Structure 1
Amino acid sequence: MKPKPSNTFIGLFCLLALTFCYNEAISARETLRVAAWAGYADADLVDRFQQRFDADIEVTFVGSDDDLWDKINSAGFDVFAVNTAELQRYIENDLVVPLDLANIPNHAAQLPRFQNPGAIPGLLHDGKLYAIPYTYAEMGLIYNRKLVKEIPQSMAAMWDPRYRGQVLAFNASNHNFSLVGLLMGADPFQLTDEQLRQAARELVRLRRNVLTFYSTADEAAKLFSRHDIALIFGNYGNQQVKALREAGADIGYVIPREGALAWLDCWAITQEAKNKRLAEQWINYTLERAVSQRLTDKHGLANTITPFPEERHGDKIIWLEPMRAPLERKRLWDRIISGEAPEAF
């Protein structure tokens, strides 16, 4: 007579079966891979999305446009945040796919200036939409009221020998060359080869004044608290201003007379996206009023759903445009931060 299995054995078998089924269900969940800037995918907002859409999210934060380019080219992402000027090379290299506005209904709630994608340079290519605006900011000049006695009127103040070792500049090839292009009176986005070399020499001169080149707003705030910083090139604009003031810093913020470069960051979906629908749901989710408002309330960034309270309409704002020779800018920038002398350019 065949022995009957014990209750203990049956219970163990059922437990193992349930564990297997649970693990299978977990592994069956979709995973959305997001590349974003600090503040664009806060942990609690990510958790809420995961619960609502029964999916997992892997967020990777980037520190510069060069860093983003390297990460997207190395594969492994579904959706990412990129400014309108940088977007062009992703389109040209077939790294992104067109979007269907019908799958992103919250677009209809965006502010009027973002309602017509055709009116924003860089969003359309061959009549197809490749990105949805999410947040924007101008890159002004932050100054320490304790060290800078007169309000600076130009970004050229960063080169002032009085501030040697007291300047924080941003670690990116594109904006730094465009900044110098503005000061040179040239088209900042279409610098010739000779103008790029001239700008490189000026950036080497700036290097003498720079304590370091930062990558994130949080990093800049920590450096400000630990060192005597006079001036900061505010790549994150009002986001940095808000963070510094909340930390007790006595600072001012100006848009220089030559104008300030300004970026418009958008969500785009990669060619390699495993689940385009889930990526569209993420974009649509970030355009919900409460989620977008978080950008302003917590991080000091303008969003595309509600008007920004401190927007100054009289300031000279220069929206980023596609650049000539971005790879040459990067090559020169790597040489600059490596310590090469002005004569090398």
Structure 2
Amino acid sequence: MGFAARGRAWWGGALHRWCASLPACLLALAGLALLLPGAARAEAVLRVLAWPGYADPDFVAVFEKRHGVKVEITTVASDDVLRAKMESAEGPGFDLVAANTAEIARLILHDKLAPLPLGNIRNTAGQLPRFRQLHTISGIGWRGEVYAMPFTYSEMGLVYDRQQFSTPPQSIAVLWDPRWQGKVLAFDGSSHGFSLAAMRRGLPPFRIDAARFSPLAKDLVALRRNVRSFYSLPEESVELFRKHKVAVMHANYGQQQLKQLRDAGLDVGYVVPKEGALAWLDCWAITRRSTQVALAAEWINYMLDPAVSREFTRRQGLANTLDEPPALAGDVPGGTMGPIVWLEPVEDEALRARLWQRIVSGDRPNRF
């Protein structure tokens, strides 16, 4: 008879002897619960904050069965929403977050993340060399500790309707072109919005001078007046693209959106314009509030499993960190006309967010 079985037999006798007293009976029941297989684990919940498609239900189900836990997935549609959820003091908080390197750097600065137990994340051995050299990846380390593990990445190019463009669009400026008024989609995000407007003007996208915010805000009001809609989720952009016969879209989710549009039967092309394209590297990180660091590390290890990572790429069209991606899809050699610009922390995220809310809410240009 094993330890748990002997314990249950002993507590069974104790219940018979002690339950004449209510307090003693409650104590006995609590002790029995601790000896039941999986009783403690049944209450364990791993809370994950991630982007759409990063943790599909079947991925979650396998992890839950393997570790005997419950996983709760909360998805976000923008960096602004991610920040708000990470900063909220309500509820138990999250154990894990998936965020780009710029957001990771910000979270480290605000002491929101815990150092990774790298020895517990065994599948890093299968990552490409550039992702194993963690000290070379800006934004994920601090004072000799590593706080995030690379998972997926993409550039934010332009998706366009080949039936409406005889040649691929060359510049970000196409989003402002009055010829396409009402047939443009752009992403609803404050940081990326101002960076995009800055790149159009040939300005640094992450370090905007204070005097430049007013004219750039006016540029974004003009963009608002030219777009059919600002979208948040990739699935939303596909529906809007199809429904409104959109001509061109700034693709915040990059080749993930390209794949979804092509899977939907749309004849679309994809390019990096001459000014370049913002690009993100999303990582998994464990939050400072987590009390389940070992389990959270198992989640990261699981997401880097070759079968999971490659299936994620097959479904979402996004690169993983284990395999070299195919050449950038597009209608120009290599699919690029400009550089890939990796995201960095911005000069004043709160100011960008305040101005963006005024812009998308309909404020007039003369008020900026």
Structures share fold, TM-score greater than 0.5: yes
C-alpha distance in 2, partners of 1:122/1:94? Answer: 13
Deviation at 1:29, TM superposition (A): 3.4
Amino acid at match of 1:64: S
Task: Say if 2:134 is the partner of 1:134.
Answer: no
Amino acid at match of 2:58: D
Amino acid at match of 1:58: E
Q: Which residue of 2 aligns with 1:231?
A: 248
- For the Cα contact (< 8 Å) 1:164–1:210, is it kept in 2? yes
TM-score (norm 2): 0.85
Residues 190-339 of structure 1 mapped to structure 2, 5 A cutoff:
190-311=207-328, 312=334, 316-339=339-362
Q: Which residue of 2 aligns with 1:54?
A: 68
Task: Say if 2:210 is the partner of 1:180.
Answer: no
- For the Cα contact (< 8 Å) 2:101–2:140, is it kept in 1? yes
Q: Which residue of 2 aligns with 1:72?
A: 86
Deviation at 1:194, TM superposition (A): 1.4
Moved more, 146-155 or 202-211: 146-155
Amino acid at match of 1:317: I
Task: Say if 2:57 is the partner of 1:39.
Answer: no
RMSD (CA atoms):
1.8
C-alpha distance in 2, partners of 1:130/1:23? Answer: 34
C-alpha distance in 2, partners of 1:344/1:323? Answer: 23
Deviation at 1:310, TM superposition (A): 2.9
Residues 71-90 of structure 1 mapped to structure 2, 5 A cutoff:
71-75=85-89, 76-90=93-107
C-alpha distance in 1, partners of 2:324/2:187? Answer: 27
Task: Say if 2:137 is the partner of 1:114.
Answer: no
- Tell which has more relative contact order, 1 or 2 (C-alpha 8 A, sep 6+): 1
SS, match of residue 274 in structure 1: coil
Deviation at 1:295, TM superposition (A): 2.2
Deviation at 1:24, TM superposition (A): 8.3
Q: Give the paired residue count.
A: 327
C-alpha distance in 1, partners of 2:185/2:335? Answer: 27
- For the Cα contact (< 8 Å) 1:177–1:188, is it kept in 2? yes
- For the Cα contact (< 8 Å) 1:140–1:253, is it kept in 2? yes
SS, match of residue 213 in structure 1: strand
C-alpha distance in 2, partners of 1:335/1:108? Answer: 47
C-alpha distance in 1, partners of 2:362/2:159? Answer: 26
Change in CA separation of 1:261 and 1:340 when aligned onto 2, cut-off 3 Å: same
Deviation at 1:109, TM superposition (A): 1.2
Q: Which residue of 2 aligns with 1:343?
A: 366
C-alpha distance in 1, partners of 2:143/2:198? Answer: 30
Deviation at 1:143, TM superposition (A): 0.6
- For the Cα contact (< 8 Å) 1:29–1:54, is it kept in 2? no
Per-residue CA deviations over 1:127-179 (Å, capped at 9, x if unaligned) read 21110000000000001122233310011100000111111100000111111
C-alpha distance in 1, partners of 2:143/2:223? Answer: 40
C-alpha distance in 1, partners of 2:314/2:261? Answer: 15
SS, match of residue 39 in structure 2: helix
C-alpha distance in 2, partners of 1:305/1:298? Answer: 16
- For the Cα contact (< 8 Å) 2:42–2:68, is it kept in 1? no
- For the Cα contact (< 8 Å) 2:38–2:68, is it kept in 1? no
Identity %: 49
C-alpha distance in 1, partners of 2:233/2:366? Answer: 31
C-alpha distance in 2, partners of 1:166/1:23? Answer: 59
